[in-house]
Amino acid sequence: MADTNKSATLTLEGKSFELPVLSPTAGPDVIDVRKLYAQAGVFTYDPGFTSTASCDSTITFIDGDKGELLHRGYPIDQLAEKSHYLEVCFLLLYGHLPTAVELEEFESLVTRHTMIHEQMHYFFRGFRRDSHPMATMVGVVGAMSAFYHDSLDINDQQQREVASIRLIAKMPTIAAMTYKYSIGQPFVYPRNDLDYAANFLHMCFSVPAEQYNVDPILARAMDRIFTLHADHEQNASTSTVRLASSSGANPFACIAAGIACLWGPAHGGANQACLEMLREIGTVDRIPEYLARAKDKNDPFRLMGFGHRVYKNFDPRAKVMKESADEVLALLGVENNPTLQVAKELEKIALEDPYFIEKKLYPNVDFYSGIILDAIGFPTSMFTPIFALARTVGWVSQWKEQLADPQLKIGRPRQLYLGSTTKDYVDIENR
Ligand code: CMC
C-alpha cells in the first residue's frame, strides 16, 4: 500500500478535511478515513461494505468488471488447469509457488495430520443423525479448541502454524465424518497413500465391507472444486473470521465462525439452494415461470447461483466449473441428466434476458458445482460442507495475515443510530 500524492477533500460545515488516498497494486484507489472521526467528528456510513476496504491484503485480488480472480497474482483458470489444491494451499499460505521439495514437505505434513483426536468420535455421537452436516461441522470445528490445547496461543508463531496445518488437514476428515454420521455408516479413517481429494472421496464413499477404488477423474474434479473455492478475498465468511480473530479468539473458534457465516443461502449455502431450485424447476418449459418470479419485486425468490457482489461481467470460477461438469457427466454417462438440461437452458435464457443483462447478473461458482457434486454422489446437504472444507485454507491464510499485521486493532464498526434518545424509565404500573 503506497501513499499517493493525491488526497480527497471533505468539506463539512465550512471546514475542509484532507483525506490521504492510498494506492493498491491493483484495483481502485482507497480513501483513508482512519483519522476522520478524530479530525472531523463524523463517521462514514456503508452497510454491507459496498465501498469500504476493511483491511489491506496481499493474498487474493478480484477485478469484478474483467471477471478476474488472482491468488498471489496467479489467475484462477491457470491454477485450476495446471496446479492442484494442496499446491494452491501452499501458495495462499506462504505467498509463492512451492519448489518440488517444499511441496513434498507440505503435502507430507498435511497428510500426517488428517486423523482427528479419537475422543472427537464420541463428540460426534452427541448430534442427532438428521442434523444438517453444517450444524455438526460448526460444532465440531469449534470444539477443536477443546481438543488441541497446544495450538491455541495466537501469539506463538509455531502454534499458529500447527493450528493452520491441523485445520487444513482435518477438515476433510470432519466433513466426511458428518456425512457418514448422517447416513448411519461407520466413520472411515483417512488413508495416507491417497492425495487430498482422493482421500476425501475414500472417507465419504468407502465402507469397511468392501474395496473402494477412487476414480482418478472424479478425484481430479473434486480437487478442482476445492481449488476453485480456496479463497475469495474479503467475502462475508472471511470477514467474519477476521472480525472474530481481531478480538484474539483462538483459531478454531474463528474458523467455526466462518463456517457459520458461510452456511447462509446468499453465500456458501447457495450451492445447495441452487441444485434444489434446478430440481424444483424440473423441466425446461417451467423456466419462464421461475424467471418471472425472480424479476418480481414482491416475490422473495431469487435465481440461486446467479449474481455476485463483485463480479459484474462473469465469474471466472463458473467457467471452469462448467467445463468440469461436462467432463464428469460424460465420464459417468449422464450427459442427459435433466437437471443439467435445465441448468444449461436457464443460463442461456437468463443471459439473454434484459433484467439479468441490466443488473449484470451472471452464473456464479455455485451454479455448476452442485451438478458435479450430485453426479459424484453427494446429497445436497453436503455441498456447503465441501465449500467450507475448501475455503478453510483461505480463512486460515487471511487469519494468519491479519495476526502478522502490527497495526491490528479489534474490529469495531460504528453505527448510524436511529433509535430513541434518552428517556426516563417508567415503572411497570405506569406503562
Ligand atoms: N436473482 C434475481 N435478482 C437478483 C439476483 C438473483 N440471483 N441477485 C441480485 N438480484 C437483483 C436484486 O434484486 C437487485 O435488484 P434491484 O436493484 O432492483 O433492487 C440487484 O439485482 C442487485 O442485487 P443486490 O442484492 O443488491 O446485490 P448484492 O451484491 O447485495 O448481492 C448476492 C449479491 C450474491 C447476495 C445476490 O446476487 C444473490 O442473492 N444471489 C443468489 C445467491 C447466490 O447465488 N449466492 C452465491 C454467491 S457466489 C458464492 C459465494 O460467494 O458464496
- Residue 309 CA to ligand 1 centre (angstroms): 7
Best residue among 229, 314, 364 to mutate for probing ligand 1, ranked by most atoms within 8 Å of CB: 364
312 lines ligand 1 (CB under 6 A): no
Report the nearest-CA residue for atom 25 of ligand 1: 309
pLDDT for position 373: 93
pLDDT for position 216: 92
- Residue 364 CA to ligand 1 centre (angstroms): 10
CA Rg value for the chain? 23
305 lines ligand 1 (CB under 6 A): yes
- For 273, other C-beta atoms within 10 Å of its C-beta total 20
Best residue among 50, 293, 302 to mutate for probing ligand 1, ranked by most atoms within 8 Å of CB: 302
The one catalytic residue among 366, 374, 405, 424: 366
The one catalytic residue among 71, 308, 315, 374: 308
136-167 pLDDT, tens digit per residue, is 999 999 999 999 999 999 999 999 999 999 99
Report the nearest-CA residue for atom 31 of ligand 1: 309
370 lines ligand 1 (CB under 6 A): no
363 lines ligand 1 (CB under 6 A): no
Degrees, nearest 5: CA angle 212-214-215: 130
Quote the CA–CA distance of 88 and 84 in Å, as a whole number: 6
Best residue among 237, 274, 277, 308 to mutate for probing ligand 1, ranked by most atoms within 8 Å of CB: 308
- Residue 178 CA to ligand 1 centre (angstroms): 30
* DSSP tag of 287: H
What is the per-residue DSSP string for 191-206? -TTS-HHHHHHHHHH-
Residues lower than pLDDT 50 in the chain: none
292 lines ligand 1 (CB under 6 A): no
Instruction: Choose among 363, 390, 395: nearest CA to 67.
Output: 363
361 lines ligand 1 (CB under 6 A): yes
pLDDT for position 353: 92
- Residue 209 CA to ligand 1 centre (angstroms): 46
- Residue 307 CA to ligand 1 centre (angstroms): 5
Catalytic residue flag (residue 366): yes
Best residue among 241, 299, 358, 359 to mutate for probing ligand 1, ranked by most atoms within 8 Å of CB: 359
Which one-letter amino acid corresponds to residue 220? Answer: R
190 lines ligand 1 (CB under 6 A): no
366 lines ligand 1 (CB under 6 A): yes
Residues ≥6 apart with Cβ < 8 Å to 98: 87, 90, 91, 106
312-345 pLDDT, tens digit per residue, is 888 999 988 988 888 888 888 877 778 888 988 9
pLDDT for position 1: 58
C-alpha cell recorded at residue 355: 433484467
pLDDT for position 316: 92
pLDDT for position 330: 86
Residues ≥6 apart with Cβ < 8 Å to 312: 64, 65, 360
Catalytic residue flag (residue 267): no
Atom of ligand 1 nearest to the CA of 367: 44
- Residue 268 CA to ligand 1 centre (angstroms): 13
365 lines ligand 1 (CB under 6 A): yes
What is the per-residue DSSP string for 55-124? S--SSEEEETTTTEEEETTEEHHHHHHH--HHHHHHHHHHSSPPPHHHHHHHHHHHHTT-S--TTHHHHH
Atom of ligand 1 nearest to the CA of 307: 37
Start-to-end CA span in the chain (Å): 56
